[in-house]
Structure 1
Amino acid sequence: MRLLYKVIIGICLINSVTLWAGKRKVMEVINRYTLAGKLNGAVLVGNKEEVLCDTVVGWSDKEQRILNTNQTLFYGASITKTFTAVSVAQLVSQGQLNYTDKIKTYLPELGTYANNLTIHQLLTHTSGLPDYEVEMPALNDVDTAIILQWLERENRLNFTSGSQHKYCNTGYILLAKIIERISGVSYQQYLTQHIFSKSGMQNTKLYTDKHQKGKEVAVGYDKNGNVDDFTLISYGDTGLLTNARDLYKYAISLDTDKVLPTNQKQQMYTPVTLTSGKEANYGYGWRVVTKHNQKTVYHKGGLNGFKSILWRDLEDATVIVLLTNYGDILPTDALVEELYLAAQK
């Protein structure tokens, strides 16, 4: 392991010689986290003009002695929710649905508890639906079909819709089913055609089959280096297999009209207001915060040994992507903060 880190850090330091100050500062942060044993995965920092840093460190598969590369795919987990939200916004822009639509218009099989639930409430986690990840703790070999069957049995809400913001994976599974029913194609086909291809994401795909993992997909580990991989097969709320460069392309495409019209993005990045008048820091598929006096949107992901974050400063178009398959050892918030400050120098 010591030799591995020496090799990786040596490469980072060699590459940093030709970089201007901001790029060197970013690489210094990455080298420090790597030396401390806190980073195993992919890091990308850039803006719409250029990539300041695109590097990988550590093992993709420790047992097979396979190193992470720029082509290694990591489990993006809940970053997938941003893709679901963008897909819904595309359909709204095309006039195929509205945010105020009742979800039973598209999912009539749902029980009476869903009579007044809207697309808006699913997107903003204000529906009151029970979260399957909380209610179904044994997620081994669980898939979307099993989750929908469970939801039919539950047939309840945890709170009055619109009164609270409570993170709920279940709502995004329902959104994915709505996307399928309106578009007439699978969720994966829809993303491939309307987001992946338009953004130039050549390597990203969905995890839809437990036999799908190949050598290009990283293995998840816990903080002790023991295998801690995922088997959950759901989509809409999670499921993305991706790399840092593809997520960067996606983020940059959202700063143009290539994927989504500007007016839809404005709605997507507007924090939800609850019935009490209180504002929550979540829009449509993105957390929305003010950081360093600038509007920032981001989404995190995490499952088993994987942790991820896609972070975007909407004012200066800074993009930070972190993907790790040693999730328990990486303090994502601290690293994002340091990388952002370093990139400004």
Structure 2
Amino acid sequence: MPAQKFEKKLDSLISVEFKEKDGPGLVFLVSKNGKAIYEKAIGKANLELNVDLKNENVFQIASMTKQFTAVAILILEEQGKLNVNETVSKYIPDYPNGDKITIHHLLTHTSGIKDFTKIKALKDISQKEMTPEMMVDFFKNEKVDFLPGEKFEYNNSGYVLLGYIIELVSKESYENFLKKNIFDKAGMKNTFYATDRQIVKNRAYGYHKKESGYVNKTVISYSIPFSSGALMSTSADLLKWQNALTQNKLLKKENLEKAFRKNHLNNGEEFSYGYGWHLKDIKGIPTREHGGHLFGFKSMAVYIPSKDIYAVTLSNCDCNSPTEITKKIAEIMLKNYSN
């Protein structure tokens, strides 16, 4: 498929799915062999100032943060500072049942720990500045949902614990560890631990859609999602991230591969989550995927390793879900490059 025809196909797919141009919107980036071959932005970055979205805009990426947390853990393992089979109690001695829960359980959402997003009291702390230790204390004494390794159930608490362990082991903040070991090495100059106070150049504002129209996003303290969902980035920086992984700039190949292996429950049943990525497929071709959702923002990225195809979509309204369209874009790319 010639580039022009291919662009037309993606343009028409996007225009059918997202017709509104005056509301918040989305940015799209598609790459092949590490190079962006399609970029598009539709909608507004700021409704009050009537500013159009552009691909340079910085978005909350929400749970896509989990990829960075998982890789940070593997970097510490490569440095010989921890092992994913070690238990939580090695690092947090008073953690309930911590001698049965491993770092591997946290990475794979099989720990059984109560997800803090399901705790009613969350609204009482949602705007407080919490330390990682305070966040762990918030959920650690909740009744567990199941025993470690019994089930796969998506869990934000596990990834908050991982961020706390990163700080304890590295003796620096999660934010600094990621900047030094990931963002700087990958050349990601527009990726940050989220803040509402500091000036972030090209920041896209987040929105909700109500019956009466759009409203500004609910304000929360980013210390709540922490290492499970507090990063912000651009589509171009996320491509740099993907390329840094592909080119083994951050980890040796054999160590990074752990993130992309399917795992097994105690009963031997396989489930399709690695460390920070869902391991799925499009028409039988393996993919690595993850999305995110945080007040006012949604994100989704699909990577097809065998073709080095990457598709990422970022939205500044939680009314626009990028999940299905990103998969459709990846499918069109796959068709285009399957010959």
Question: What TM-score results when the alignment is normalised by the length of structure 2?
Answer: 0.89
Give 3-state SS (helix, strand or coil) of 1:222's partner: strand
User: Within 5 Å, which residues of 2 pair with 1:134-213?
Assistant: 134-136=118-120, 137-138=122-123, 140-145=126-131, 146-152=134-140, 154=141, 156-207=143-194, 209-212=195-198
For residue 218 of structure 1, what is the aligned residue in structure 2? 204
TM-fit CA distance, 1:65: 1.9
- Matches of 2:97 and 2:202 in 1, distance apart? 43
Task: Determine which structure has the larger strand proportion and give its number.
Answer: 2
Retained in 1: the 8 A contact 2:282–2:331?
no
Task: Tell me if 1:335 matches 2:319.
Answer: no
For residue 123 of structure 1, what is the aligned residue in structure 2? 107
Distance 1:285 1:205, change over 3 A: same
Identify unmatched segments of 5+ residues in structure 2: none
For residue 90 of structure 2, what is the aligned residue in structure 1? 105
For residue 12 of structure 1, what is the aligned residue in structure 2? none
- Matches of 2:201 and 2:51 in 1, distance apart? 8
Deviation by residue 1:196-234 (Cα, 9 ceiling, x = unmatched): 111111111011x44236463222212332222441323
What is the one-letter code of the residue matched to 1:48?
N
What is the one-letter code of the residue matched to 1:261?
K
TM-fit CA distance, 1:292: 1.8
TM-fit CA distance, 1:277: 1.5
Task: Tell me if 1:309 matches 2:300.
Answer: yes
- Matches of 1:283 and 1:144 in 2, distance apart? 29
Greater Cα offset, 211-220 or 239-248: 211-220
Task: Tell me if 1:253 matches 2:241.
Answer: no
What is the one-letter code of the residue matched to 2:222?
I
For residue 232 of structure 2, what is the aligned residue in structure 1? 241
Give 3-state SS (helix, strand or coil) of 2:166's partner: helix
Deviation by residue 1:19-74 (Cα, 9 ceiling, x = unmatched): 44323322332333343569712110112242121222211110122222222111
Distance 1:261 1:23, change over 3 A: farther
Give 3-state SS (helix, strand or coil) of 1:89's partner: helix
Task: Tell me if 1:42 matches 2:42.
Answer: no
Retained in 2: the 8 A contact 1:102–1:116?
yes
- Matches of 1:295 and 1:135 in 2, distance apart? 35
Retained in 1: the 8 A contact 2:299–2:314?
yes
Match for residue 231 of structure 1 among 220, 244, 254: 220
- Matches of 1:191 and 1:176 in 2, distance apart? 10
TM-fit CA distance, 1:144: 4.2
Retained in 1: the 8 A contact 2:187–2:240?
yes
How much is the aligned-residue C-alpha RMSD, in angstroms?
Answer: 2.1
User: Within 5 Å, which residues of 2 pair with 1:292-303?
Assistant: 292-303=283-294
Retained in 2: the 8 A contact 1:78–1:238?
yes
Task: Tell me if 1:326 matches 2:313.
Answer: no
- Matches of 1:144 and 1:53 in 2, distance apart? 40
TM-fit CA distance, 1:119: 0.5
Give 3-state SS (helix, strand or coil) of 2:319's partner: helix
Give 3-state SS (helix, strand or coil) of 1:113's partner: coil
* Percent of residue pairs identical: 27
Identify unmatched segments of 5+ residues in structure 1: 1-17
Q: What is the total number of aligned residue pairs between the two structures?
A: 324
